[in-house]
Amino acid sequence: MRRRSFLKKLPVAAGSSFMLNHIPLNALAKTAPLYRLASTSDNDRVLVLIQLHGGNDGLNTIIPINQYAEYYQLRPNLAIPDNGKRKYIELDSTLSVEDQVGLHPDLTHMKELYDRAKVNIVQNVAYENVNGSHFRSRDIWFMGGDYDEYLPSGWMGRLLDHEFPGYPENYPNAGMPDPLAIEIGNGVSLAFHRSNGIPTAISIQNPEQFYDLITSVGGAPPEHIENTHYGEELKWIMDIEEKSNQYAGRLKEAYEQGSNSPKVPYPELYPLNAPSGRIRNRLAPQLKMIARLLSGGVKTKIFLARRGGFDTHAEQVEAYDATMGTHAALLYHISSAMKAFQDDLKELGLEDRVITMTFSEFGRRAYSNGSYGSDHGTAAPMFVFGKMVKPGVIGTNPDLNSLDNGNLVHQYDYRQVFASAVVDWLEADSDAVNATLFGNWVDSRLPIIGNGITGTTEAFLNTRNFLEDCYPNPVSQSTVFGFRISSRNRVKLEITDIKGRSVQTVLDEVRDAGLHHVTADLSLLKKGAYLYKITAGHLEETKKLIRK
């Protein structure tokens, strides 16, 4: 390859890209700021980021139940119905009335993960004076700064630049044979750039192209520029390419050694009607590959995956059904892919090591437009997935009677969420946090990380799914059984003798989420000791009853 052709590729340098299972990867070279974290960190935690390109419509993702009338009035041609077969999914009946929310009907898998205590929802995330440009707003999220700052580097890049100097001489090595960050796709992200502004690798489509580029350019710059500033930068880039070539081989080896659980099918298609370009699940293969790489021993700390299509100015929904269409398919893809990913990680024994965050450059306006779509807005929810998150909902529903020029008023700054990931998950020290520019947000960071085993997770589950003590007990004629379930399920409540043989069925029917009480006549039971047992989804519990 001629140098002129090579130099044309320099502006897109930000991760050496190659293909694994037909998915393009951008592997950040060891110089990447995130690299040092992997080589020196005393934990094996992994952060997966999912970028929702285009600006996700938060109001049709998380519906404010307590303000449904206002919601419907603002967007009658987009509003998710509050009744019928495709009504919104009630998320959590234990939340306060003013905080009650509904999920889009195609987020059933997210609801299931929430009920398993593996989801944290952060309401109304944005930044001050949201910029309506896709490119500028994404840069703000990546650089970790304010709306009026223009930085040549990203918060992830600065973090690793501070933590892990010394590339390329000492990498890869036996302790860290892998790139610290892997960006899936063809793009270049400011997030991984260092403060000196030099990109960290080159974007290509497959290993063969990558190899051709390396071998055709050679290992040293031409003599007439060897001692110039340009020559130094060109040599630096060539060194990065040489290192990245080693990563390509290492990742291919890890991918072949790894596996996904045969018990977990990853979703491929949207099962309902949607535009042709939205039928296939483009996120699932990315997450499947991440799980397989981790199972193969890759020590990469941060993965960035993407799903585009969220810029829904027109035909966000079908004219005949607001629950169907482009946005519905996209939400299904996110929800179903994340459910498969979490199940896969659990089967692979990796569930304790990984949390996943979604983010989008902005939300959509509260008002719908005349094209069955929504325009660029401000705040939107973020979702955090994993066994190790602190489950629940952070924040309140947006006030639809107090909009800012038709836009939602944000409640949390995006840096409050990312600061929690950096401090509480990646466990970066104060100097590293300051390098990200999140230092001023540490004290106000959000409580999204839990322990995943006891405490908050256990309390979350037990307050949403339980069997009450029946009353009265002992029973002479009748008693009242009480139970709470977190999602609509078939409930079977039966009485057995001490040996477990069924003697009376109290209830066997589908019940909605919430607290229920059932009065049962037990006058036909003989006097003695019995057990009463409930089975409803994840809830299985047995208690003792005395018939006097």
Total Cβ atoms within 10 A of residue 135: 10
Q: Which two tokens stand for residue 415?
A: 């840096």
Q: Report residue 343: phi and psi, to 5°.
A: -65, -40
DSSP run (H or E) holding 346: helix 326-348
- DSSP 3-state of 422: helix
Q: Could you tell me which residues come within 8 angstroms of residue 253 by beta carbon, excluding any fewer than 6 positions away?
A: 296
Domains by residue range for the chain, with CATH = 3-458 (3.40.720), 465-547 (2.60.40.1930)
Measured between alpha carbons, how far is 520 from 228 in angstroms, rounded to an integer?
89
pLDDT at 179: 79
pLDDT at 226: 58
pLDDT at 72: 98
Measured between alpha carbons, how far is 128 from 343 in angstroms, rounded to an integer?
37
Q: Could you tell me which residues come within 8 angstroms of residue 504 by beta carbon, excluding any fewer than 6 positions away?
A: 494, 495, 520, 522, 524, 525
Residue 438: is it exposed, middle or buried by C-beta count within 10 angstroms (0-12/13-18/19+)? Answer: buried
DSSP string over 253-309 = HHHHH----TT-PPP-B-SS---GGGSB-SSHHHHHHHHHHHHTT----EEEEEE--
pLDDT at 49: 96
Contact by Cβ (8 Å): 299, 27: no
Name the H helices within 426-472.
430-436, 456-464
DSSP run (H or E) holding 37: helix 33-40
Angle between helices 284-295 and 326-348 (to 10 degrees): 10
Extract the residue ranges of the chain whose pLDDT is less than 50: 1-15, 30-40, 167-168, 198-218, 454
Place of tokens 């050679």: 218
- DSSP 3-state of 493: strand
Measured between alpha carbons, how far is 267 from 283 in angstroms, rounded to an integer?
9
Contact by Cβ (8 Å): 404, 414: no
Q: DSSP label at 53?
A: T
Measured between alpha carbons, how far is 471 from 481 in angstroms, rounded to an integer?
7
**278-282-283-285 Cα dihedral, nearest 10 degrees:** 150
pLDDT at 224: 59
Measured between alpha carbons, how far is 60 from 331 in angstroms, rounded to an integer?
10
pLDDT at 198: 43
Among 493, 479, 480, which Cα is nearest to 523's? 479
> What amino acid occupies position 400?
L
